[in-house]
Structures are given as C-alpha cells and as structure tokens.
Structure 1
Amino acid sequence: MRKIFSILVTFFIVLVMLSGCGTSKTKSPKDDSLSRIKEKGKIIVGLDDNFPPMGFRDKNNEIAGFDIDLAKEAAKRMGLNVEFKPVEWDGIILSLKNKDIDVIWNGLTITDKRKEAIGFTDAYLKNKQIIVVLSGSDIKTKKDLGGKIVGVQMGSSSEEALESDKETLKTLKQVRKYSNNTEALLDLKSGRLQAVVVDEVVGRYYISKMPNVYKILKEDFGAEEYGVGFRKEDKSFGQALDEALKAIKQDGTAEKLSKKWFGESIIEK
C-alpha cells in the first residue's frame, strides 16, 4: 500500500512539474523596451542624412531638418537624449532589427509591406509621390514618360509606388535606382534622366532652392503618410513615443515646425 501511495505522489509531482514547464513555454516575453531605452538614456535614430528637408547635412555638416527637430522635441518630452545615426536606406529595416538603431525617423512612409516587418507610430505627416522633370521638359503626364529613363531612390516608397503602377512601368525605357534623392535630381539636371519620382516634401524643397530648374507634374503616384518605425516587440517604447508625438501635435509645436521647414502646415491631425 505504501509503495502504491509513493508511486502516486511521485506521479503527481512529475505532473505538476511538467504542467509548470508547459506554462513557461507559452508565456510571452516581458516587454521592457521603454525601461531599457530609459536606462540607456537616449534614442538612437536611424536616417538617411541626405534627405532634405527631413534629415540632411547643413553647411556646418550638422544633421538638420524637420524630422530632426521633431525627434529632439519628442525625446526631450520623454526625458531622453537623441543620437542620429546615418544608415544606408535600403538596409535600414535590417539595422533596426539588429538593434543598431532604436527607430527609423526620416520620412518613412507607412505601407502594408513595412507593417509586416516593423511597428509604426500614428501618422504625423501627409505626403505624396510626385513626378519631377526639368522646367523646359515637354513631359506633362504619366503617359509622356513612355520610352523615358526615370530615377528613384533605392528601397524608398517612391520605388514601391512606381513599381505598383504596372501600366506606367511597362512603358518606361529604364528605371535607375540611386542611394539618395540628391544624386537622382542631379542626374535629372544634367540630362541623364528625364524624370524623378520622389516624395513631395523633398521635391518641393529642391524646387524652392532652384525654382527655374525643376517643375512638378499635376499627376502623381499616390498619397501617403509618414510615421516613425520601431521594432514590433518594443510596444511599451512605441506607445510612449506615440504619446509624445500626440502631445507635440496637440499643443501646436508640430505645426510650427512644419511652417518652419515647408512654409505651411502639412501635419496629419
């Protein structure tokens, strides 16, 4: 009888232990992203530092721009410093996943494809993909792009928008891909391209600097919104960042920054 009782007790203990192991396996990992970044004391922002007016090098070789000012303001409200780290744009999501950076904050378009890989804050800026040509060009519509060489930034939403328009894409002579928009627009100016598809905020910035060189077509490749990208698992940090951005929009600070860089408010309410 004692032997049977001993066997039953042992069986019960093993059962409890196995049950505990099963529970630990299904338990989701703790999200300590906000406390981890607060402990570090700063947010590392990944960006393309040749993307005016969102983030670029000024005449003193300092990183400046709308997103730079916005990131500094958000970090300040979260009690953190901010470090800006230039990264090749076509590999920036990998840099985020590898934890080389904490966020992608540089005119990052919210797309379904990107949502599969990373998390996003709510949209903070409106944008669209415009077509820029030389001021004297006879190109007036998308149809006029047939047989022409068109430039885009590699890995950008401009590239994605152009490739999504299959009807226009199949008529093009060639699509040239560049590491940044500055190179593409310089090639357009020199005649090596006939058009560039680019974010409106970038295109209008360049045109304001050289109003007699470029012009924007009336047709575009669709509207979009900008958000800040973060790792999907960093939910507590992403939520805190979103709250800071909402406060910046609500008290009018974001609108002031928009007018400073774009001459008007293009903030997403």
Structure 2
Amino acid sequence: MKINKLIKKILMISCVVMIGTSLVACQTSKTQGTSDKQELVMGFDDTFVPMGFKDENGKLVGFDVELAKAVGEKLNKTIKFQAIDWSMKESELKNGNIDLIWNGYSVTDERKKMVEFSNAYLNNRQVIVTLANSKISSKQDLAGAKVGAQNQSSAVDAIEADGDIIKTFDSGKIVTFETNNDALMDLEAGRIDAVVADEILAKYYIKERGKDKYKVLDDDFGKETYAVGIRKGDTKFVEEFNKALEAVVEDGSAGEISKKWFGEDIIVKADEKK
C-alpha cells in the first residue's frame, strides 16, 4: 500500500511538473525576444492607402509593405503581414500576436508610453480635407461642422490635443469611422463636412479620385513623423531594427520605393532626424 501511495505521489508530482513546464514553454514562446525570431509579424490596417492595402486583384501592396520587405532582408528575417483591428494595435503588440506596428504609425507621446519606436522614416501632417465647393477655408470654419476621422487614429489624437476645438464641432464631438476610406466616402456623400487625416493618405486619395473633388486647407492639426512600433522594453531589437532601416536608406532602396509611391524621395534622412 505504501509503495502504491508513493507511486501515485510521484506520478502526481510528475504531472504538475509537466503542466508547469508546458505553461512556461507556452509563455516563453509568446514572449520570445523579437531578435530571436526568424519570422516577424507586421500588424497593419489593410485599407490604409498608399501604405498597406489590397489592390483591385486582392494583392497586398503599398509603400510600407515594400519597405518592410526590404528591411526584413537586411535583418535576414521573413515578414508576415497580418491585418488587424487598428484600434487594438497596441494590445495586439503587447500580447505578442504581432511583432511590429507598421502602417503609417505616427509617433505621439501617448503611444510612447505603450511601445518602443524605431527611428522616423517619413514626415507627415494631419490635414483638413473638404469638398472643393465647401465654404470651410480655415480651422475656425469647422465650428458647427461635422468633422470625421478614423477611430483610434493619430488624427483623433491631434484634434483632441488642439484645445477646445472639438466643443465647436457639430454635437461637440468627432464623427469616427473604422477606416479613412469610410470617412472620405461620407464626405463625398455630404454626410460630413470635413475629414482630418494623414496628409500622405489624403494626397493619394485625392490623386486617385480626382483633384477637382477636394481641397486641402492650409491649416492643419500639426506635424508628425511615421515610425515602427516595437514591443515595450525590447530595446535590443530596436537597435537592430534601426541599423537595418538605416541600411535601406543609405543604399538607396528606401528612396526608390518612395519615388514609386510618391513620385519623389521623401524619406527622412539621418541628418533630418531630431
């Protein structure tokens, strides 16, 4: 009897150890240092033209998509593209579901609390877009207007940071949309009066849909930069990533990708970084 009890006790301890080991292994896999991974998962909004989106054939294309592939080659890692709910991007990164937030991701003080940022690679503004025949010609003219922006975007952050201007909007709030495309469609339909969005995206849409339809105001909601979001505390990988990014800039690859998508080289160079 004593032997049987001893065997049962040993078996129970073994099971506990095995379960514990499995849990640790699972957690280790989830929190594995990014530097050690051969495949990096890039989280992005697949409607964000011209940075990362699906073309008419369903193929994934865009400036950030091509730049990510080029940087991945320098890192000797494969990039896996994963469309995500943009409003959940920081949570996806923190939970280990993605390794990079890379899709026209603007650097803000609030985001710095949640992620590590790579070096900046593009400059941007939060511009105000209206229909060409709109009477709105300045930021002050937004009083009483229905102003739209993508939910959880830096456009929303920029508006909220601009004093009490939201209080002057129709109903005292921003009309938010799942995508910038939805916002611009409502603008065209006359359901809203203006859209605040990334200048790079706005220029692309205007070029594709017709310059005669829209106007971009001289006023804006501030300048910013695009960078890549990396898991908080993963400073080792940030350093590795920055070296790879700089290599792509220095060898001219980034500039060529920029010319393809924007018609000119607008990459932030080393001497332009703050």
Same topology, TM > 0.5: yes
Cross-structure match for 1:245: 245
Give distance in 2, aligned partners of 1:95 and 1:190: 34
Question: Which deviations, in whole Å up to 9, do the C-alpha atoms of 1:126-163 show, x marking residues without a partner?
Answer: 00100000011111001111100000101110000011
TM-score, normalising length from structure 2? 0.84
Give distance in 1, aligned partners of 2:265 and 2:218: 21
CA contact (8 A) 1:33 1:235 kept: no
Secondary structure of 1:43 counterpart: strand
Give distance in 1, aligned partners of 2:140 and 2:236: 47
Question: Which deviations, in whole Å up to 9, do the C-alpha atoms of 1:5-26 show, x marking residues without a partner?
Answer: xxxxxxxxxxxxxxxxxxxxxx
Deviation at 1:36, TM superposition (A): 2.5
Aligned residues: 237
For residues 216-255 of structure 1, what are the structure 2 equivalents within 5 Å?
Answer: 216-255=216-255
Give distance in 2, aligned partners of 1:201 and 1:180: 15
Secondary structure of 1:166 counterpart: coil
The equivalent position to 1:91 in structure 2, one of 88, 92, 99, is 88
Question: Which deviations, in whole Å up to 9, do the C-alpha atoms of 1:156-200 show, x marking residues without a partner?
Answer: 100000111124222111411111100000000000000000000
Secondary structure of 2:195 counterpart: strand
CA contact (8 A) 1:162 1:221 kept: yes
Work out the percentage of aligned pairs sharing the same amino acid. 43
Cross-structure match for 2:155: 158
Deviation at 1:35, TM superposition (A): 4.3
The equivalent position to 1:137 in structure 2, one of 128, 134, 138, is 134
Secondary structure of 1:165 counterpart: coil
Consecutive aligned runs of 4 or more in structure 1 exceeding 2 Å deviation: none
Matched residue type, 1:242: N
Cross-structure match for 2:120: 123
Give distance in 2, aligned partners of 1:34 and 1:143: 46
CA contact (8 A) 1:32 1:236 kept: no
For structure 2, which runs of at least 5 residues remain unmatched after alignment?
Answer: 1-30, 270-274
CA contact (8 A) 2:34 2:40 kept: no
CA contact (8 A) 1:95 1:101 kept: yes
Give distance in 2, aligned partners of 1:35 and 1:131: 40
Give distance in 1, aligned partners of 2:125 and 2:252: 23
TM-score, normalising length from structure 1? 0.85
For residues 1-269 of structure 1, what are the structure 2 equivalents within 5 Å?
Answer: 33-37=33-37, 41-173=38-170, 174-210=173-209, 211-269=211-269
Deviation at 1:268, TM superposition (A): 1.1
Secondary structure of 1:220 counterpart: strand
Deviation at 1:32, TM superposition (A): 6.3
Assess, with a 3 A threshold, how the Cα gap between structure 1 residues 106 and 241 changes in structure 2: closer, same or farther.
Answer: same
CA contact (8 A) 2:94 2:232 kept: no
Matched residue type, 2:190: G
Q: Which has the larger radius of gyration?
A: 1
Give distance in 2, aligned partners of 1:94 and 1:246: 28
Deviation at 1:250, TM superposition (A): 1.3
Give distance in 1, aligned partners of 2:164 and 2:153: 20
253-262 or 90-99, larger mean C-alpha shift: 253-262
Matched residue type, 1:203: A
Secondary structure of 2:66 counterpart: helix
